Structure 1
Amino acid sequence: MCFMAIDDLDEGSKEDKWFLDSGCSRHMTGDESKFAFLTKRKGGYVTFGDNAKGRIIGQGNIGNGTSSLIENVLLVDGLKHNLLSISQLCDKGFKVIFEASHCIIKDIQNDKTIFMGHRCENVYAINISKYDGHDRCFSSMHDQSWLWHRRLGHANMDLISQLNKDELVRGLPKINFQKDKICEACQMGKQIKNSFKNKNFISTSRPLELLHMDLFGPSKTPSLGGKSYAYVIVDDFSRYTWVLFLSQNSEAFHEFSKFCNKVQNEKGFSITCIRSDHGREFENFDFEEYCNKHGINHNFSAPRTPQQNGVVERKNRTLQ
């Protein structure tokens, strides 16, 4: 991982300096006292230039108590130097330029110089202690914009940009707030279902070809006969509605079987299809056996989607 010859540097300078390393896969240090925030972890190793291994014992942010200069830094047991990963800096949205005597770290978005390091012997190093006043200097601008999005209650980026422009929020950084990804919390909390479009035509050609059914109750106000449940049946073709009052919802099948015999004899048509939700009063063995015996197709609306059985649902709201 690390092939730098830095042993000739004095110990005091090592404590303050971070060495830029293109062979280092992650930011890492062996000094636990440098962390402003640290989460202990078990498992994982890093391999050094001599093939020796160092155990990863934590991960956190480097800085003082109020600000963090470097994010996602590994705490490696036995590591004697502070290493900055070039690849991790590039992934965070920075550009690293090496010159003969120094190196420059720039923000790609605005081409602003964030840090300047100096060449020490044959390696490049940055003295982090000089930048204690810079908040989150090695945080990517992308991550920082979405951090403020969360801090401000998942406000949209246009609103945050306006707050930034008018300087209405103290400490809000002057960065470009763009909606360049999807916030999972916003997607779960703000998304809405597509509405079901109304049909402008009747899809059936005769009465009793399709019956919409639903049951509601117990009602606070019982019927004149003391019944608390109402079994509503709507004919799709004529929109004619039957309301059967029940004492218990378990009486739904018994009333349905009587209704079928009566209405088919009266109208001279056979029932072809019925549609209901997945309520237990409809989705049970008695209903299934009756429909199979009499050749009735029993359709169910999708769970938690009353819109698919909207014909009878609207009738229910009127009756209630």
Structure 2
Amino acid sequence: MVNRQNQNQNVVPHAVLDPAQNPASPYYIHSSDNLAATMVNPPLNDKNYNAWARSMKRALVAKNKFRFVSDEISVPTATDANFEAWDRCNSLIHSWILNSVTISIANSIVFLENACDAWRDLRDRFSQGDLVRIFELHNEISNLKQNSMSVSEYYTELKILLEELEHYRPIPQCRCTVPCRCDVIESVKLFREQDNAIRFLLGLNDSFGVVKSPILMSHPLPSLAKVVSLATQHERQTETEEKGDSLTIVNVAEGKKPPYGKGQFGGSSYRNTRKFCTHYYDDVYSQRGVEEPFTAYQYKRIIDMIHHETTASKKGSENGSASEVQTKRRIGLGSLQPDELYHLVVSSSSSTCFSIQHSSISEINDFSHIIPPGALWHFRLVHLSHDRLLALHTVNNSIDVSKSIVCDVCHLAKQKRKMFTVSFSKAQKCFRLVHMDIWGPLAQASVHNHMYFLTILDDCSRFVWVVLLNNKGEVQQQVNNFITLVKTQFGQTVKAIRSDNGPEFLLPAFYSAQGIVHQRSCVSTPQQNGRVERKHQHILNIARALLFQSKLPKKMWCYFVLHVVFLMNRIPSKLLKNKSPYELLYQEAVDLEMMKVFGSLCFANNLANNRSKLDPRARKSIFLGYKQGMKGYVLMDLISQEIFISRDVIFHEHVLPYKGSNSPAWNCLDLQTHGDSTGEKLNVALEI
């Protein structure tokens, strides 16, 4: 008996000591844990590391695996008893990380053996504070408006930006040896909370003015959560009142009776029951145990509409005198009809169409009227045009035609937009008028992650500048850069800028400081900014031709666009009296000898510092365009897929070497940083 107990005591500890079988151990792997699982969504990209890292940490902590990537569990030796369990967990965590990042990032960490090394690599690569991103966040927060969003949706958008800014610029904590007793940190937190509340209030629509004013004048200012709660309550109240008002007006205008049977509120007695009392109204519904159909505000509207009925209508009367509500001037006699409304009786000789200005009728149906005799044939022939009626009148004199009648139905049913006249106006000097517009986003980002491009067109010379953009938030800075370029390079001042109503072009303070007139097109009227819109069409047409000619991938569209603009500025135009925009702007002839076939085969000299004695002396490449400010060509190496610039190039323009989908995978270097040691950016157009 004693021996059996000793055996049991020896067996149980071995089972407990095996970490892979202990659910409380980090080495334990549950049956639901698999290599193909995606731990967080969306996956990691180059912009969302902070949110991704937090979500990934929560997932790993829930799986009891975070200590593997936080260096709390070190790598055991191959002879260690826990090595196999550690190796299984390491492979599992590494697979989770690979499944939770984009393909391009996964390819960069797939060859790392340990999950902790992959985690550390991602942290070192993406977690560094970005001053440019902080500046962008400040701009996005200040420009964020509610517009068509609900209060909840607007607050969510603002909260995301504030949380990201808080991560980059957290409130500092006291690190003194002796902790401070002052409340400076708490004051800083309070100030930031008040700033966020004010940002939220200023972004609300004008309809929330009744909420914003009392809050901004209150002292102390409520918290952001309280401000959001007040705005949400106001939004719900407004929606309820608007919905209730529309329902109340429809019921009263159509003469509907409450669906509660006959009696004081039903049957024939309803027509004669004109006296209402608030207390009686409340008592009836409370006694019947029925929920009140109207709010107090809706009930007041009903009473107001009843009091504004025709002034001569009396209890139980069959006829009455109709008067205007405002002037009390008599306009005719009214007759009570079965639909319980007074219909105004108008003599047949009258050509004017009168109607009782009842508030409920006018709100529900603006077309409630009597057809004048002169418009009878117009209505009979289903609102035939005036010209066709005149043609019929020449055939049949009995058809009356009147020019003085204005038919609302025709306007509402058939009115079209006015025709746009061809504009022949042109600025007399360069930069007196500049057109601007944005094109994008494209479904396929460029090889350098561009999604948009800004087009700038001089009205006088028709010279075009193009600036490649990652997002619309860069437009304001690029407009400022262009104004500075014009002053520095041409000694001119931009007089006027014409654009659409995009918020990225709304810079009233900047325009006022520079003395620039900002001309905007009407809403949904791109024709008023047609010159730059047509220029977009021209650019894209030729860019597609270069795409089909060179057979390069669509992600190279940024080079298509830049090369197209380079050529357009150097081609003569009939509009410019057979001169090119380049000649008018720079007052010098164009050198056409430098023109090469886009996408053609070329060989660039391999620099001596990049080769040994037996290495090739040239690089087989493709021509992609020109580089502003450098006497060289932009090329792409066909072997390494590297994009570089060289002046020592020999062209074979009759050969287009790229083979399309059969070419190897792309691994292009970023042209924005590839260049001289100063890291000069190449994302600006060729002419800037």
TM-score by length of 1: 0.49
- The higher-RCO structure (CA 8 Å, 6+ apart) is 1
Q: Which has the larger radius of gyration?
A: 2
User: Quick check: which one's helix share is greater?
Assistant: 2
User: Quick check: which one's strand share is greater?
Assistant: 1
